[in-house]
A and B are shown apart, each in its own frame.
Chain A
Amino acid sequence: MHESQTAEFPVFEVFVQKESLGFHINVGSLRAASPELALQLAREIFFRRETAYNVWVVPQDCIFSSPHDEAHLPVEGMDKRYRLPGGYDNATHWKRFKAKAMTIEEVAKDIRS
């Protein structure tokens, strides 16, 4: 009788956002009786030293995850350089027109200055 009442606490996955412009990252999991207690325990277990901007605790059975095989995951199946800025050699062409290639980092820096 007594045994059936001490069921295991549910598992919560813990996600931390380090700064306001960062994304939440999974750091591990813990057991707790409620989401409130899970948040409190997350501080004890994961953030004794580190600071955080925000913490999420998510019941583990709410997570639907992919299997670890190629059919279900984005993999390097083919050459995808055409999707990347590095896949274009514009600098040599701009040089031919006596102009310089430009990067998005440079534009962003100029706009935000």
Chain B
Amino acid sequence: MEDTGRMAAFMARIESGEKIEATDWMPEEYRNLLIKQIHMHGISEIMGAYPEKEWVPKAPTIRRKLALNAKVQDEIGHGQMLLRLAEDLSRPYGRGREELMDDVLDGRIKFHNVFHMEAPTWADAGVIGFLVDGGAIITQAMLLDSSYAPYARMLKRIVAEESFHMQHGEAVVLALAEGNQAQREMLQGAINRWWAPMMFFFGPTQMGKSAEAMMGYRIRTKTNEELRQKFINRYVPRIRALGMTIPDAELRLDPATQEWHYSQPDWELYNAMVRNNTGPRSQARLALRRQAHVDQRWVREAMNAAAQRIANQGSERQSAM
């Protein structure tokens, strides 16, 4: 059949390392997996701004306030760039920005578990930059090799900006680690809160059907477990160097396999949290998103109407001439 031939040619392109463009023919499954991945990524960037935004007014110095604000701006910018890609892919389904954003509020799209959690202290703001951005950088570095060219291109820009997030997070953590007893305890408390959510962040070792299919299409190129191992391997020595401990009695490196053993995070708890938005801060943050998206919809509509009126006046003037 014609479709079988097209499919074989498409897979041959992917396997030879060629990149796919938005205007190329693609199997529906590939399109749907891309939408699922990029939509979730874009929304997570936007929802990720909320826990950090809480600390902008409370940041300890003006420099920290500027830096944290810059980071919040970056996350929202990344969300906008990624949503544009998801919109281009969703065009055949007649779905645009408004619908993709409605999906968050109506619970049709999930966002990362870490953005459902509380950030009760300044150390949490630092540890989010240190560990959550650190984990996101590992995932995004893998996506630089994605078979979908618009995604890989956008990731180049995003990863370049994440470089500042990484250094900023480490700077906050280092300042606390060099501080007094209370500051060091605050840092340890934040590490204790964020470690298990970070183990969940990379997803189950036994990957779901979608994640497996994404590997087949080279939308992603590493398994959940490979990414988690890279994360543990990189961050355990750094946390320990600071004189901090990791809240996992099971954590050890197997000298034979060079693989890390770790306690399983509470999969049930976090899965339910992202599926039903039942985390400690899920509803409060969704309320802020609803305020921006729904309560201010009339502003977007008014702007469209105003632009339309100006355009009509222009064409009337032209036809009068």
Q: How far is the CA of A105 from the CA of B156 in the complex (A)?
A: 11
B40-92: which residues lie under 8 A (CB-CB) from chain A?
Answer: 63, 66-67, 70
Residue of A nearest to B238 (CB): A99
Contacts of B210 in A (CB 8 A): none
- Give a binary string over A72-96; 1 marks a CB under 8 Å from any B CB, 0 the rest: 0000000000111101101001101
Say which size band chain A's interface belongs to.
Answer: 20 to 34
- Give a binary string over B275-299; 1 marks a CB under 8 Å from any A CB, 0 the rest: 0000000000000000000000000
Residue among A85, A105, A111 facing the most chain B CB atoms (10 A cut-off): A111
Q: How far is the CB of A92 from chain B (nearest CB, A)?
A: 9
* Chain A residues packing against B (C-beta within 8 Å): 20-23, 54, 82-85, 87-88, 90, 93-94, 96-99, 101-105, 107-108, 110-112
Can you list 19 contacts pairing A with B, beta carbon distance less than 8 Å?
Answer: A20-B149, A21-B19, A21-B153, A82-B168, A85-B166, A88-B170, A90-B167, A94-B241, A99-B238, A101-B170, A102-B234, A104-B141, A107-B138, A107-B141, A107-B166, A108-B159, A110-B141, A111-B142, A111-B222
B137 at the interface (CB under 8 A from A): yes
Q: How far is the CB of B35 from chain A (nearest CB, A)?
A: 21
- The count of residues in chain B whose C-beta lies closer than 8 Å to any C-beta of chain A is 40
A112 close to B241 (CB less than 8 A): no
Contacts of A54 in B (CB 8 A): 21
B67 close to A82 (CB less than 8 A): yes
B262 at the interface (CB under 8 A from A): no
Q: How far is the CA of A82 from the CA of B138 in the complex (A)?
A: 23
Contacts of B243 in A (CB 8 A): 97
* Chain B residues packing against A (C-beta within 8 Å): 18-19, 21, 63, 66-67, 70, 137-138, 141-142, 144-145, 149, 152-153, 156, 159-160, 162-164, 166-168, 170-171, 174-175, 177-178, 222, 227, 230, 234, 237-238, 241-243
Residue among B137, B167, B227 facing the most chain A CB atoms (10 A cut-off): B167
Interface SS of B by simple majority:
helix
Contacts of A85 in B (CB 8 A): 163-164, 166-167
Tell me which of B141, B152, B178, B222 contacts A96 (CB under 8 A): B178
Q: How far is the CA of A85 from the CA of B138 in the complex (A)?
A: 17
Q: How far is the CB of B123 from chain A (nearest CB, A)?
A: 16
Contacts of B137 in A (CB 8 A): 104, 107-108
B237 close to A21 (CB less than 8 A): no
> Given that A20-B149, A99-B238, A104-B163 are contacting pairs, would A112 and B141 also be in contact in the complex, using a CB cutoff of 8 Å?
yes
Residue of A nearest to B17 (CB): A20
Q: How far is the CB of A113 from chain B (nearest CB, A)?
A: 10
Tell me which of B160, B171, B230 contacts A88 (CB under 8 A): B171
B167 close to A88 (CB less than 8 A): yes
Q: How far is the CA of A37 from the CA of B66 in the complex (A)?
A: 50
